[in-house]
Structure 1
C-alpha cells in the first residue's frame, strides 16, 4: 500500500477558517508536514493547525525552506524534501502537507507538487483548497472586491513601479501580495493616481496578529512578509 499526499490549505490565519475536509484529513493523516523556521519558532501554517493536531498522535515533519532564488540550491533542497516525503508515503503512511491560504496559489506546496508528479508518479496526491488571504481581507474590511463585469487582478508586488501603476490603472480591483518590501513605491503610485483613499493594507489577516493599517502609517514601516494591499477603484 502507498500513502496519499494531501496538500491542505489551512486558510489565512483564523483556525476556524479551515474547511471541514481539511480538518478531517488532518485527523486521518499519519504524518503532518509543515514549513519550519530555522530558529525554532512556529511557522504560520503550523500555528493555524495547532488547535486541531495532537502532536503525540502524529508524526510531525518540520521542513525548512531556504529563502533564496539560487536555482541550484533550490533544486537540491526540493529533491531532498521530495525524497523524504516520498519515503513516508512509500511506507504506506498518508501525509498532510499544510500551507496557509490555498495550496495552488503562490504556495510552497506547488514546488513539491510538481516534483512529486515528475519523480514519483505512482504516489497519489489530492489537494484540499483553502481560503486565501485576499478572501479573508475582503471579509474583514467588508469590501466587495468585484461585481458584474469588473476585473480583478492578483499580483505579487515588485519594485517595477511602472508595471505596478499599470496594473492599478487597468483593473477595477488589484490585490498586491508580498507588498512589504515595496510599500513606499506603491504609496507613491497611489498618490500620483489620486487613489490613496482606495487602498487598504492588512497584515496576517484574520489571525490573532492581524493589523489593519492606516495607509499613511505604512511609509517607512517595517511590515511583515504576510502583508497585502487591496486597491479597489
Structure 2
C-alpha cells in the first residue's frame, strides 16, 4: 500500500495518550517511537488495495493500531489493545465526527456505502484482486443495512504477518463505531474467527421492532 502519513499523524497522539493512561509513559513513548517505523514497514508489505478504494481507510486505520502494538514489543495484550482502540474511537474528536451520522435518520447509510464500494470493485477488482468481497441479501432485512464479506484483506495480511491475534480487537471496533453513529450492530460471524464470512446487520439504536 502507498504510505499515507495522515493516518499515523491523526491516531498516534491518541494511541499514545491511551497507552500512557492505561500503562505508563515509557511504554507509550516506545510504542509510538518504534510504531512509526512499523507503520511504514506494514504499509510497504501490504497489498495495494487500489486508487480511489472507498474501503482503503479501514486498512490504514487497522495498521496504525497494529504498528503501535508492534512498537510496544507486544507488551500490550490483544485484549488490552482493544481498550486502547476504544479509547481512541471514543475520544472527543472521533466521537464528534462519528456522531454526525445518525443511523436512525439515515438507516441505509452503510448499504449505500457498500454499494459504492461494490461498484468500485467491479471496475477495479481484476487489477487489485486482494480486496473485500461484499455480498447482499436485500430480502433478509427490511430495516437498516445488511451485508457480509467473504474476504477481508486486513485479516489476510495480519495472518500473513503473524499478528492475527489482534484481529478480534480490530473487528470489535465496528460495534463501537456504529454505536457512536446511533446504531446497533448485529453480528454472528467473523472471518477472523474462522467463520468464512463477516456479517453486518446495522440498524438505528431507536429501532424497537426490527424486520
Scaled to the shorter chain, the TM-score interval is under 0.3
Q: What is the TM-score with the length of structure 1 in the denominator? A: 0.25
Q: What is the TM-score with the length of structure 2 in the denominator? A: 0.27
Larger Rg: 1
Which structure carries more helix by proportion? 2
Which structure carries more strand by proportion? 1
